[in-house]
């Protein structure tokens, strides 16, 4: 053993650091409900991290392709669908400096059924991301509004999960199910997975209901809730119509201010 001491130590260190940086900054944005701000948050946290000097890849994993459409990206020859099916490599589309996107298409809606008999079907996305993740500081995955195979693939690929919650009635409804899925994935498929934050979205401090829901979310999640609440801001809903993120659309809007503050918190939490 001693004779190997000199060479084994750096080798062990290399293996250890590989597992530490591996998936280091892959983040899934997850909520099985639609319309809670997953896509808006993925785009604008991604763009916020770019504002903070990071290089970011966004992955559109929703067959509705809202992220792809919101950024005005034309139909690509190889989308996430073809890559998951092994019909092509992941080809990031350069949207603007330091912000790349893996696009989606409606074809992806068939993927869950088509991949169901594939060996290692929960890890297909992880293998694909591993091929490109060295080129980025952060990889953000916009999950579909379901807890099926695509979402499982996102969770096995990720180090962190963020849950956007609309500050409306029923916001916490069904969260036990999400927690259960995350816990199971953590136990069986990805020990490193961490539910690292809850994002309160579409918040309006003038509305008692919004304040009540935020209180409930705090009781439920404690300090997992990010200090920055994303306010209800029409600019965030307008930006996709201009095919822009909020920083390119209205950089002084409350939406831009909030997403930049949130991106700073995420940077801190994932250091
Ligand atoms: N903070 C916000 N203020 C106003 N509108 C918002 C805000 N966040 C999201 N929206 C709008 O709400 C709708 C649903 O948001 P989206 O991000 O698409 O949710 P999801 O991806 O969870 O389905 C979209 O029309 C979006 O533009
Ligand atoms: Mg969406």
Distance CA 50, CA 53 (A): 5
What's the sign of the alpha-carbon dihedral 28, 247, 236, 64? Answer: negative
What is the number of H-type helices and E-type strands within the chain? 12, 7
Whether residue 148 lies inside any domain: the answer is yes
Whether residue 81 lies inside any domain: the answer is yes
Instruction: Give the pLDDT of the chain (271 residues) as one tens digit per residue.
Output: 445 555 665 555 445 444 444 566 999 999 999 999 999 999 999 999 999 999 999 999 999 999 999 999 999 999 999 999 999 999 999 999 999 999 999 999 999 999 999 999 999 999 999 999 999 999 999 999 999 999 999 999 999 999 999 998 888 888 889 999 999 999 999 999 999 999 999 999 999 999 999 999 999 899 999 999 999 999 999 999 999 999 999 999 999 999 999 999 999 999 8
Confidence (pTM): 0.92
- Gap from CA of 248 to ligand 1 centroid (Å): 17
Whether residue 14 lies inside any domain: the answer is no
Contacts (Cβ under 8 Å, ≥6 apart) of 87? 78
Which of 31, 35, 142 to mutate to test ligand 1, by most ligand atoms within 8 A of the CB atom?
35
Atom 10 of ligand 1 has which residue's CA nearest to it? Answer: 237
Q: Which ligand sits nearest to residue 67's alpha carbon?
A: 2
Number of domains in the chain: 1
Which of 29, 31, 33, 40 to mutate to test ligand 1, by most ligand atoms within 8 A of the CB atom?
40
Contacts (Cβ under 8 Å, ≥6 apart) of 93? 73, 76, 100, 101, 102, 103
Domain extent, residue 148, equals 24-269
Atom 8 of ligand 1 has which residue's CA nearest to it? Answer: 37
Give the CATH number of the domain where residue 263 resides.
3.40.50.300
Whether residue 60 lies inside any domain: the answer is yes
Whether residue 94 lies inside any domain: the answer is yes
Ligand 1 atom nearest the C-alpha of 164 is 22
Whether residue 147 lies inside any domain: the answer is yes
Whether residue 10 lies inside any domain: the answer is no
Atom 5 of ligand 1 has which residue's CA nearest to it? Answer: 237
Atom 27 of ligand 1 has which residue's CA nearest to it? Answer: 237
Distance CA 232, CA 205 (A): 9
Pull the structure tokens for residue 122. Answer: 């929960």
Q: Which residues line ligand 1 (CB under 6 A)?
A: 34-40, 66, 145, 201-202, 230, 232-233, 236-237, 240
- Gap from CA of 35 to ligand 2 centroid (Å): 7
Ligand 1 atom nearest the C-alpha of 258 is 1
Pull the structure tokens for residue 70. Answer: 């919101």
- Gap from CA of 132 to ligand 1 centroid (Å): 29
Q: Which ligand sits nearest to residue 62's alpha carbon?
A: 2
Whether residue 15 lies inside any domain: the answer is no
């Amino acid at each position: 053993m001693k004779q190997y001491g000199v060479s084994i130590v750096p080798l062990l260190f290399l293996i250890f650091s590989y597992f530490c940086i591996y998936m280091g900054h892959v983040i899934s944005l997850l909520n099985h409900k639609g319309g809670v701000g997953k896509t808006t948050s993925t785009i604008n946290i991604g763009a916020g991290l770019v504002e903070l000097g990071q290089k970011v890849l966004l992955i559109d994993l929703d067959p509705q392709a809202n992220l792809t459409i919101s950024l005005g990206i034309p139909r690509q020859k190889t989308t996430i669908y073809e890559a998951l099916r092994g019909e092509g490599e992941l080809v990031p589309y350069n949207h603007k400096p330091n912000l790349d996107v893996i696009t989606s298409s409606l074809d992806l809606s068939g993927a869950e059924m088509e991949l169901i008999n594939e060996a290692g079907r929960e890890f297909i996305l992880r293998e694909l991301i591993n091929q490109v993740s060295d080129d980025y500081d952060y990889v953000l995955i916009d999950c579909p509004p379901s807890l099926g195979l695509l979402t499982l693939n996102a969770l096995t690929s990720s180090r962190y999960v963020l849950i956007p919650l609309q500050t409306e009635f029923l916001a916490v409804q069904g969260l036990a199910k999400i927690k259960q899925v995350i816990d199971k994935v953590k136990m069986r498929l990805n020990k490193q997975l961490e539910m690292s934050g809850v994002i309160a979205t579409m918040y309006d401090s003038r509305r008692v209901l919004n304040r009540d829901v935020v209180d409930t979310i705090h009781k439920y999640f404690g300090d997992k809730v990010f200090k920055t609440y994303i306010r209800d801001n029409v600019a965030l809903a307008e930006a996709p119509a201009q095919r822009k993120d909020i920083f390119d659309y209205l950089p002084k809007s409350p939406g831009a201010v909030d997403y930049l503050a949130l991106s700073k918190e995420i940077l801190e939490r994932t250091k």
